[in-house]
Chains A and B, each alone.
Chain A
Amino acid sequence: MKTLFNIAWRNIWRNKLRSSVVIISIMLGIWAGIFVSAFSFGLNDQRKDALLKNQFSHIQVHKAEWKDQMEVEYLLSEAKAILSSLSSKTEIAAVAPRVIANGMAATAHYSGGVQIYGIEAEAENKLTGLAAKIDSSGKYFSKKGRNPILIGAALAEKLEVKPGSKVILNFSNANNDLVSASFKVKGIYTEVSSTIEKMKVYVRANDLQELLGIGAEDYHEIAAFAENEADSDSLKTWLQGQYPNQLVESWKDLAPELAYSDSIMTQMLFIIIGIIMLALSFGIINTMLMAVLERRKELGVLMCVGMSKGRVFSMIIIETLYLSLIGGPLGIILGYFSVEQGKLSGLSLEVFSDGLASYGIGTIIYPSVPSSFYFGTAAIVFIMTLLASIYPARHALKLNPIETIRTI
């Protein structure tokens, strides 16, 4: 058997140029395939991370009716208890309660619909890092000042406001009366998604509670971020068990399409690698078939002097495998290093910035690949090559030894 491997190895180097072309094509194909996949993975991960951090968190608690209709009266009944049990849990990294009202923001220049988030400054900052998103012209909430408000950059542009300007918020309170209140812009925040910038404004929870006419410990929403995203589901079950009357949701319930694209990503990319490999196998089959055909005579002689058909068959298969076992791993290694390099430097997609922002991600993409993907790719390369080798190897078997050595 060892001899067979030796012979096969030497055989593939008999025509160096031809073998190299196949090996290089496999290498480049796999390399490019891995890199494109890493890019897609990176894009998807970044989008997911950004949306979880900024918008969904890992777990949210509401009153059950809230999901259908965001009415002021649908308050969490055990907000304080939920808050304290969440913050005492070690798996939870941050938790913040919110009061939410739908309304209009207006200045003399523009008026538009907004979601008004009444937040606890410190807790919210810990949860979503809001303070860091405020640009240098303004500041984050402090204890001081009357009715401060944070406004997204896109909305601020439309309202034509800057820190210090006044904005009128209109919304209805717990008695269904229309409330109109003046707020002073404290800061302008920027978000990767321009849709959020246009939609969300932040005020202090106390100010909003007062205007809505609800208690100081009444909230509509509690959002929590787990130390480890993988714990979201178990934490959700635990919390739902503790508070059966509230609606507890993990990000997978809140953004099912996000969870879905996460789960089909790997499949999609394996399909792409498979297609690349399929295209490569045409080249492999062709090369190996030529290798068999031009060695008809030699193979005939080998069979005549007593080499069994099984061995001839294996020899061709081993030769084919050698080609891709050099090219494939080289491609995977190259892929690995370029992905690692990409992780450090990132790839800039400045040209698509607006489109990406509406998609919820920044313009620098950091490719990343779960390590299982490399093994999966290696398996695909191996299996596809094995399949590709059968045709030329079978062809070698069908040779008639007498006929092949008779011809010139």
Chain B
Amino acid sequence: MLFKMAWRNVWRNKRRSIITMASVSFALFFALVMRSMQLGTYDQAYSSVINATTGYLQWQGEGYWEKQSLERSFSPNEEDLAKIENHPEVIDLVPRLESFALLASDHSDTRPGLIRGIEADKESLYFGLADKIESGHLPAKGENGVVLAKKLAENLGLSIGDTLVIIGQGYHGMSANGKYPVIGLAKLPNPDANKSTVFIGLEQMQELTGAFGQYTGLVLIPKSTDKLAALKTELSAKLSEGSEILTWREMMPELIQAMEADSAGGLAILFILYLVIGFGIFGTILMLSAERRPEFGILISIGMNRARLAVTTFMETSFLSLLGILLGSILSLPISWYYHLNPIQLSGEMEKMTEEYGMEPIIPFSVDPSIWLTHGLVVLVISMILGLYAVFSIYRLSPVKAMRR
């Protein structure tokens, strides 16, 4: 009964209800599309940067990440290795041995570069490295050869079949010098990486640096990326001294914070929007309770319980915003969904800007249901709090005075 009354009350003043709903749905629509875009961008930025660099979880020698020096590389003991490998949440381990060195060809300057010793099969399987190869191929297991990032190859004046000279510092202060044939060229999306990366087989790298059996990191491939922190804690507890497990959040705090700062800016704008909409809803509730004073007075004096009246009015105002919320959510869904499937392609300066940060120049939208839930809920809570004004005014109402007007 109360429910029905509230519902009918909503439609007593159609125009006003529709405008109020429209304002709620506009704000929510805007908020949802914006958040969906922002969060989608972060997701894609995270995953592209994570996949191109550290992976979600890495098992490293203690203190390696801070110094990133071969001296802190490690070689896991059998026991630990078995424990990690057999953990049901870990699909695989991808070993890496990385170090900086000087690169040269016979007819150019030397320039610094990052030598990444990898297992090509695994890198391709989990991080799509093979897709980035433009010509040639990645070094197969045991093959003696290097793949150069494209820009680096240009700068060094090297192409497939030429020889790359590596001059560097190995493990325990050994010198790490070697000559390798170039067997492939890779186009890396991050411009910095594209200017400096050399891929080499893991065993060749271990031989070059004298770090036999050592790794600078083992990337753990988790089954799901949702509960990394918990997985980290669980795995860390099993490890013996000397090595540690880091999540990408620990390895790249700058990335997170830059995104969080950006996200905070977006939330600030939404906050203003909600503030403004809140006032709009409040205005409606104010009008509604003012124009119905005589009616409320009559209802109370003929014996309607104040609580029931209050509940009816509260339901009425909640309906209003609920309808607005539903409308806004439904309207925003096709847009987010469309751009989720067909990300916006950036061009011109924007493209350069995103590439400078090492990301792909696209803006995909996120369709994570939690965005809809959170913002729908926020608006609902705001309107419910404002709805309390109507409840309050009903309890304060003096029927005689209200009817006399």
Q: Which residues of A contact B100 (CB under 8 A)?
A: 104, 111-113
| A15 contact set on B, CB distance < 8 A | 290
Which of under 10, 10 to 19, 20 to 34, or 35 or more describes the interface residues of A? 35 or more
Residues on B with C-beta less than 8 A from A36 are 265, 268-269, 272
Q: B111-140: which have CB < 8 Å to A?
A: 111-114
**B23 CB → nearest A CB, Å:** 3
Q: A18-B286, A29-B276 are in contact. List 5 more A-B contacts (CB 8 A).
A: A22-B279, A29-B272, A36-B272, A113-B100, A352-B257
Question: Once bound together, how far apart are the Cα atoms of A260 and B351, in whole Å?
Answer: 11
Nearest opposing residue in chain B for A24, CB measure: B279
Pairwise interchain contact B67-A158, C-beta atoms closer than 8 A: yes
Q: Assess whether B102 is in contact with A104, with CB atoms less than 8 Å apart.
A: yes
Q: Are B19 and A276 in contact (CB under 8 A)?
A: no
Q: How far is the CA of A114 from the CA of B280 in the complex (A)?
A: 57
Task: Scan A327-368; emit 1 where CB is below 8 A from any B CB, else 0.
Answer: 000000000000000000000010111111111000000000
Closest chain A CB from B74 CB (angstroms): 16
* CB of B277 within 8 Å of the partner chain: yes
Closest 10 interchain pairs by CB?
A355-B257, A113-B112, A25-B279, A282-B23, A283-B280, A260-B349, A355-B258, A358-B254, A110-B69, A172-B110
CA A287 to CA B26, docked complex, whole Å: 17
Q: Does A275 contact B (CB under 8 A)?
A: yes
Q: Does A219 contact B (CB under 8 A)?
A: no
List the A side residues contacting B19 at CB < 8 Å.
Answer: 282, 285-286, 289
Q: Which of B82-90, B165-173, B180-188 contacts A (4 or more CB under 8 A)?
A: B165-173
A385 interface contact, C-beta 8 A: no
B200 at interface, CB cutoff 8 A: no
Q: Residues of B contacting A352 with CB < 8 Å?
A: 257-258, 260-261, 264
A403 within 8 A of B: no
Cα–Cα, bound, A346→B259 (Å): 22
Instruction: Establish whether residues B280 and A25, one from each chain, have CB atoms under 8 Å apart when the complex forms.
Output: yes
Binary contact track B263-295/A, C-beta < 8 Å → 1, others 0: 011001101110111011011101100110000
Contacting pair B283 A40 (CB below 8 A): no
Contact present for B272 and A172 (CB under 8 Å): no
| Contacting residue for A71 out of B108, B265, B268, CB 8 A | B108
Closest to B106 in A: A176
Q: Is the CB of A286 within 8 A of B23?
A: yes
Chain B positions within 8 Å of A359 at CB level: 258, 261
CB-nearest residue of chain B to A170: B102
Interface size on B, residues (CB 8 A): 66
Residue of B nearest to A174 (CB): B109
Could you show 20 A-B contacts with beta carbons less than 8 Å apart? A17-B286, A18-B287, A24-B279, A29-B276, A39-B268, A113-B100, A158-B66, A256-B352, A261-B353, A276-B273, A276-B276, A279-B277, A282-B19, A282-B20, A282-B26, A282-B280, A286-B280, A355-B259, A357-B254, A358-B257
Contact at B284–A286, with CB atoms within 8 Å?
A: yes
Residue from B167, B269, B291, B349 within 8 A of A294 (CB atoms): B291
- B276, A283: Cβ atoms closer than 8 Å: yes
Q: How far is the CA of A322 from the CA of B273 in the complex (A)?
A: 22
Q: Counting CB contacts under 8 A, is A205 at the interface?
A: no
Query: Which residues of the partner chain B approach A294 to less than 8 Å between Cβ atoms?
Result: 291
Distance in Å: Cβ of A261 to nearest Cβ of chain B: 7
A residues near B367, Cβ cutoff 8 Å: none
B104: interface (CB < 8 Å): yes
Which residues of A from 280 to 296 have beta carbons under 8 Å from B?
Answer: 280, 282-283, 285-287, 289-290, 293-294
Bound complex: CA of A33 vs CA of B271, how far in Å?
10
| Chain A residue contacts of B352, Cβ below 8 A | 256-257
A256: B residues at CB distance < 8 A: 349, 352
- Taking CB atoms, residues of chain B closer than 8 Å to A106 are 169
A289 engages B283 (CB within 8 Å): no
Cβ of A72 within 8 Å of any chain B Cβ, yes or no, is yes
Inter-chain CA distance A41–B100, complex, in Å, is 39
A15 to B345, CA, bound (A): 51
- Whole-angstrom CA separation of A103 from B104 in the bound complex: 11
If over half of A's interface residues share one DSSP class (helix, strand or loop), that class is named, otherwise mixed; here it is: helix
Q: Is B245 positioned at the interface, with any CB of A under 8 Å from its CB?
A: no
Collect the chain A residues with CB atoms within 8 Å of residue B71's CB: 109-110
Q: Which chain A positions have C-beta within 8 A of B22?
A: 282
Q: Which of A25, A36, A39, A178 has the most CB of B within 10 A?
A: A25
* A286 pairs with B109, CB closer than 8 A: no
Q: From A18, A282, A289, A352, name the one whose CB has the most chain B CB atoms within 10 angstroms.
A: A282
**Closest partner residue, chain B, to A33 (CB atom):** B272
User: In the docked arrangement, what's the CA distance between A355 and B263, Å?
Assistant: 12
- A29 shortest CB reach to chain B, Å: 4
Digit string of A382-404 for contact with B (CB within 8 Å is 1, else 0)?
Answer: 00000000000000000000000
B196 an interface residue at 8 Å Cβ cutoff?
Answer: yes
> Are A280's CB and B109's CB within 8 A?
no
Residues B257 and A25 in contact, CB atoms below 8 Å apart: no
Asked whether any CB of chain B lies closer than 8 Å to the CB of A194, the reply is yes
When C-beta atoms are compared, the residue in chain B nearest to A171 turns out to be B110
CA distance in complex: A219, B271 (Å): 53
Contact of A22 among B23, B26, B283 (CB under 8 A): B283
* Cβ A111 vs Cβ B169 within 8 A: yes
Please determine whether B349 and A354 come into contact, CB atoms closer than 8 angstroms.
Answer: no
CA A178 to CA B260, docked complex, whole Å: 44
Q: Is A182 an interface residue (CB 8 A)?
A: no
- How many angstroms from the CA of A59 to the CA of B36 in the assembled complex? 40
Q: Are B109 and A172 in contact (CB under 8 A)?
A: yes
A293 to B114, CA, bound (A): 73
What are the residues of chain B within 8 A of A1 when measuring CB–CB?
Answer: none
Partner of A358, one of B16, B111, B258: B258
Given A178-B110, A279-B277, A287-B283, CB of A109 within 8 Å of CB of B269: no
Contacts of B107 in A (CB 8 A): 176
Which of B19, B256, B356 is packed against the most chain A CB atoms within 10 Å? B19
How far is A87 from B286 in the complex, measured between Cα atoms in Å? 69
Cβ of A25 and Cβ of B283 under 8 Å apart? Answer: yes
Which residues of B350-377 are within 8 A (CB) of A? 350, 352-353, 356
Given the interface pairs A69-B155, A103-B110, A280-B276, the reply to whether A21 lies near B282 with Cβ below 8 Å is: yes
Residue on B with the closest CB to A106?
A: B169
Q: 1/0 per residue A110-138: CB within 8 Å of B? A: 11111000000000000000000000000
Q: Which of B328-362 contact A (CB under 8 A)?
A: 349-350, 352-353, 356
Is A102's CB within 8 Å of the partner chain B? Answer: yes
Known: A113-B100, A256-B352. A272 touches B254 (CB 8 A): no
Q: Closest B-chain residue to A260, C-beta based?
A: B349
Is B111 a contact partner of A102 (Cβ separation < 8 A)? yes
Which of chain B's residues has its CB closest to A18's CB? Answer: B286
A251-301 contacts to B, CB under 8 A, are 256-257, 260-261, 272, 275-276, 278-280, 282-283, 285-287, 289-290, 293-294
Does residue B101 face the partner (Cβ distance < 8 Å to A)?
yes
A311: shortest Cβ distance to chain B, in Å? 24
Q: Are A114 and B353 in contact (CB under 8 A)?
A: no
| A214 CB–B CB distance under 8 Å | no
Q: Which residues of B contact A354 (CB under 8 A)?
A: 253-254, 257
Residue of B nearest to A361 (CB): B261
Which B-chain residue is minimally distant from A356 (CB atoms)?
A: B261
In the complex, A113→B356 CA distance in Å?
Answer: 19
